[in-house]
Chains A and B, each alone.
Chain A
Amino acid sequence: AQSVTQLDSQVPVFEEAPVELRCNYSSSVSVYLFWYVQYPNQGLQLLLKYLSGSTLVKGINGFEAEFNKSQTSFHLRKPSVHISDTAEYFCAVGPQTGANNLFFGTGTRLTVIP
């Protein structure tokens, strides 16, 4: 079985400051890893994904994430946030074998303060 833990439900940060949104997962099999963003009243947009290879992945809007297998983590980072980054961010895992769906965390609400 798979589970995802997003350690912070809300993260306030000042504009142009760096941010890290934390994600830890549990799985008995190898997984694909994802970050999705949900802007107010919108759908889920894929930010970035880790399938294999380099553990540092870059996504859209200046975000990046690092896969750490030993710590079963996939934290999302951005060196300088903008007001437009205010949104809900979801970490998700997809098992490479077994289940065919994504398992989501409970989300982290990022609020960028002017």
Chain B
Amino acid sequence: DSGVTQTPKHLITATGQRVTLRCSPRSGDLSVYWYQQSLDQGLQFLIQYYNGEERAKGNILERFSAQQFPDLHSELNLSSLELGDSALYFCASSVGFKPNTIYFGEGSWLTVV
């Protein structure tokens, strides 16, 4: 158990819908990262937050957004969902904002039908 908690574990939704994925980082970690894992794209970095502020942005679509709350949990919002958004979404956390030790959650499986 990495200490990073993600909910829900599985989610099935229809095209055009909006979903929210939630992440609680390890106790004491200030950074939260979101990654997408798909068969064709592999593991892609989406976005990083550090202590409530956006710190780094990767291949995140405009239909996707994220935020980190004062209690340090984070949410990833996915809207206008398409079939191609079906993937495993990982949250990860680290103490600082440099990627010297990052722990991953179990992931949230999103299936868009």
| A positions within 8 Å CB-CB of B | 32, 34, 36, 42-46, 49, 51, 90, 94-96, 99-107
Contacts and interface: CB of A to CB of B under 8 A. Distances in A.
- Sort chain B's interface into a size bin: 20 to 34
B98 A100 contact: yes
Which secondary structure dominates chain B's binding surface?
strand
B104 A45 contact: yes
Nearest to B31: A100
Contacts of A104: 42-43
Nearest to B88: A43
B33 A101 contact: yes
Contact of B45 (A34, A36, A42, A101): A101
Contacts of B50: 100
B42 A103 contact: no
B2 interface: yes
Contact of A100 (B42, B97, B103, B105): B97
B45 A46 contact: no
B42 A44 contact: no
Contact of A102 (B42, B99, B107): B99
A32 B43 CA distance: 18
18 contacts: A32-B99, A32-B100, A43-B2, A43-B105, A43-B107, A44-B90, A45-B2, A49-B100, A49-B101, A94-B100, A96-B98, A99-B56, A100-B55, A100-B97, A101-B45, A101-B99, A104-B42, A107-B43
B6 to A, nearest CB: 8
Nearest to B6: A43
Given A42-B106, A43-B106, A45-B2, A100 B56 contact: yes
B86 to A, nearest CB: 15
A100 B105 CA distance: 18
